[in-house]
Structure 1
């Protein structure tokens, strides 16, 4: 189609035409531009310079800038005008938007990561200019809570498009999606380097009733409550705090499930180490009755250390079960009769601390019985076996 020419030999310009403009002057609320071979100059109102709010036209363009604009209106000169001069009313914003939407559609389809400057911080999120106004809701800025977004203004941040509707001029972006994608990639790489048996320094990330999640540098592992300490732990938060640095041993790694099991306990010295110094033979120690069984009572005398008070060592009087004298949770004193660090066994006596006239018993040379699953047949029979031997002589 041939170009329409007016009587003066100048190409006719119509509303909707796209033309090249050169900035001739910049005023507070508008820009004056020249158009090659046009009979009038053009005017771009400040509202048509950008998809974002503009305070001053000079914030957006400068004299000498060249760009495409669309003709939105033609203001012909009045019949009685002396200079017979009219104007073309132009829009840079509409052209930028047309180009931008086409590019954004492709980026949305490809899942492209876009980098852009945060132009403004508004109630509810961030605003960026991608040729059209893009909005980042507060919930999509980071993967954690942010109290104030003021520091984001003017910074370059990466985004992914999560929603777009050209007809409604709606463009929703997410920085959180980029952060989460990067973390997933980092997590996969870190998991490949971790093996069972490794000792790693980590940071307590989150505390739960059943344990603690420890950040190993991009991937979290779980320390079950039973693996926090050698002693029994009732409340995880009483032992660990978020942000605390800890050494952990990797118990197992499941790459397919991205699951890592950890232990703090296995990096700590065992409670039985040097037990003969902490609980020497003959020492009198305070303890707590933890379990009562038919053949005696298990008493915790140190964190993670339980000793056995055999039923024959509970009282000078004959008792049928430990429950007749003791109860779980009871605080008692006991004398250490024997210690075996290798077999992790301690024999205790309560009655050794209670005087009985002419008892004739000697508890200082007590020997740990040979055991199977912790205790021998002799442990179970106790004094009854001694009485049987005496009667048979």
Structure 2
């Protein structure tokens, strides 16, 4: 009988622990309001679990049947109910008996000391260490005097009158919950407002509501951007579009340029074939030079289209930063390619000059050169004569 009684006790304890463990303290759930009695609002949490929320936590009178998000404070085993509160709402504390570690309370900062903040929880003195005030390092604690925070009870000892609280723990939970909700709701194509947190050589990290996304330098503008500081600054609020979401790797790719119109949409209208336009040389390659017609629209002047003569090096004709006149040869809107020519404009300018030169009078003929007469008969002197005097022997005539 004893063994049976012990077994029943173990089973009951196991069932009780299972029931308590179903809903973890500080976990959030969405329930339905079952009833409102005086100062209590009863909420159904599913799986035959119910809880109660103080009616004073509601900003508006709760209605039966409404859905409400609640936070589990603890399980009341004697009543078989969960003590609930609204998110970020603190428990009602009357004395030390209502306090326990892990619960949320409302604390008002009354002073400071070298270690942190002095506070009160319904006239019960407490302490918030400086490392538990905020998510980041706090330098000036006196700025918090007079403010009220929702804090987590870290240590509670009624005998020693020791109450240690943490605001940072609450902020971390709120951040974690906000991140979870944000990750669940993120989708490519969404437009979000964010704050630029940090600049790097390859882009900027933008906080879009508790989660940082990468805005790559290639997505900052339609034109060439050498450094992110040319477009955005740290602390600046901007609107970005979500391009990619990788929940496994926790990575978000953002775009800023897509918030403006794509300049290639009407490129054929703005730059008709054979039209002459002025642009800026932005990059030189071995095969030609890229000319920017407007931010985001570039065309290629092939090395064969740089001049009327043979060009061995592109840098012999143009340099980066030069303003040049070019003619539009062709446009491939799908591939975002434009073929340009400098030679065709040069040829067009030289043609009238050649026509003017052809109409001028022909040059006068050069005077005829005097024709030398060839000598008649044998030459005098030389080696062909008979030997005679010494002078004649050397081809000389005395």
Q: 1:357 to 1:193 in 2, by over 3 A?
A: closer
Q: How far did residue 352 of structure 1 move?
A: 3.8
Whole-Å separation in 1 of the counterparts to 2:332 and 2:353: 30
Whole-Å separation in 2 of the counterparts to 1:331 and 1:267: 30
Q: Secondary structure at the match of 1:346?
A: strand
In structure 1, the residue matched to 2:184 is 192
Q: How far did residue 232 of structure 1 move?
A: 2.0
Q: How far did residue 184 of structure 1 move?
A: 0.7
> Is 2:107 the partner of 1:116?
yes
Q: How far did residue 125 of structure 1 move?
A: 3.1
Q: 1:333 to 1:128 in 2, by over 3 A?
A: same
In structure 2, the residue matched to 1:222 is 214
Q: How does 1:185-334 map to 2 (within 5 A)?
A: 185-196=177-188, 198-209=189-200, 210-280=202-272, 281-294=274-287, 296-327=288-319, 329-334=320-325
Q: Secondary structure at the match of 2:179?
A: helix
Unaligned stretches of 5+ in structure 1?
1-98, 362-393
Pick the structure with greater CA Rg.
2
> 1:349-376 deviations in whole A, cap 9, x for unaligned?
2234446756999xxxxxxxxxxxxxxx
Whole-Å separation in 2 of the counterparts to 1:138 and 1:283: 68
In structure 1, the residue matched to 2:151 is 159
TM-score normalised over the length of structure 1: 0.55
Q: How far did residue 279 of structure 1 move?
A: 3.6
TM-score normalised over the length of structure 2: 0.54
In structure 2, the residue matched to 1:384 is none
Task: Number of aligned residue pairs: give it.
Answer: 255
> 1:91-147 deviations in whole A, cap 9, x for unaligned?
xxxxxxxx95x976x50xxx3333222222345531024587533234432225667
Further displaced range: 264-273 or 183-192: 264-273
Q: Does the Cα contact within 8 Å between 2:195 and 2:208 map onto a contact in 1?
A: no
Whole-Å separation in 2 of the counterparts to 1:174 and 1:357: 82
| Higher relative contact order, chain-length normalized (CA < 8 Å, sep 6+) | 1
Whole-Å separation in 1 of the counterparts to 2:242 and 2:106: 38
In structure 2, the residue matched to 1:126 is 117
Q: How far did residue 247 of structure 1 move?
A: 3.2
Q: Does the Cα contact within 8 Å between 2:282 and 2:291 map onto a contact in 1?
A: yes
The two structures, once aligned, show a CA RMSD in angstroms of: 3.5
Q: Does the Cα contact within 8 Å between 1:140 and 1:177 map onto a contact in 2?
A: yes
Q: 1:129 to 1:337 in 2, by over 3 A?
A: closer
